[in-house]
Copies of this chain bind each other. A is one copy, B any other.
Amino acid sequence: MTTAHHAPGETRPGGRTARTRQAVLTAVFEELDEGGFAGLTMEKVAQRSGIHVATLYRRWRCIEGLVCELLTELSSDVPLPDSGTLPEDLRQLARSIADFFAEARMSCLIEAVVSAAARDPQAAAVLRSFFGERLTLAGRMVQRAVDRGELPADTDPEDVMSALGAPFYYRILIARRPVDRHLAESAATAVWAAACAGAYKKRPANDTAPGGG
């Protein structure tokens, strides 16, 4: 589903830069699995990956930069369905999200990224732009449903997709309990009912004064 935009140095997917990146991201993922974000340090990643710690600092600056890149890498694996109806698309996507987060280290990763954003403005910017892009992409799924006449024309596609994701992040970050398929079913049913009820209408162009389109 993603058309790759390679960063400089990544033009040859099999090159040394790409191999370094892969080794490092794999090491981060394994470290998260074993010790969570609490124990994660650049030094441990260096040791596990066999990449010199100076290289890590030069390329990713801090542990926050590393976890954000790992999130970007992994999330591109969650496919956007196109089944023909929005309720079914929502259900399929919610299940994919649930399966994605069913692995404890994926929840750790989200926690790590949010935590990184709290500590580091650059990580915050990465996080915001990452989710912004995902939302724009996923919004197309909703826009197709609007075009098919399944939802009111003034539905905000990104609000719908935010609402689908919200229960998962709440479960992980706030309730701090495991994500499961029951949550996926609930989220998909809820968002479809809410969208039909007009809960995700676009905000009026002029939020402060009446009138306008």
Show the binding face of A for B, using Cβ within 8 Å: 36-38, 111-112, 114-115, 117-121, 124, 127-128, 131-132, 135, 159, 162-163, 165-167, 169-171, 173-177, 182, 186-187, 189-194, 196-201, 203, 207
Quick one: copies of this chain in the complex? 2
Q: B111 touching A176 by the CB < 8 A rule?
A: no
Indicate whether A37 sits within 8 Å of B118 (C-beta atoms), given known contacts A163-B167, A163-B190, A194-B190.
yes
Question: Chain B residues near A166 (CB, 8 Å)?
Answer: 166-167, 169-170, 174
Main secondary structure of the interface of A (DSSP, over half): helix
Q: A131 touching B193 by the CB < 8 A rule?
A: no
Question: Chain B residues near A177 (CB, 8 Å)?
Answer: 128
Q: Min CB distance, A150 to chain B, in Å?
A: 15
Indicate whether A159 sits within 8 Å of B186 (C-beta atoms), given known contacts A38-B119, A118-B38, A193-B197.
yes
The 9 tightest CB contacts between A and B, nearest first, are: A190-B194, A193-B197, A190-B199, A166-B170, A115-B118, A189-B199, A166-B166, A115-B115, A111-B118
| Docked complex Cα distance between A199 and B201 (Å) | 20
Question: Chain B residues near A169 (CB, 8 Å)?
Answer: 166, 169-170, 173-174
Set B37, B124, B163, B174: member contacting A165, Cβ < 8 A: B174
Set B120, B175, B182, B203: member contacting A162, Cβ < 8 A: B175
Question: Chain B residues near A132 (CB, 8 Å)?
Answer: 175
Q: A114 touching B124 by the CB < 8 A rule?
A: no
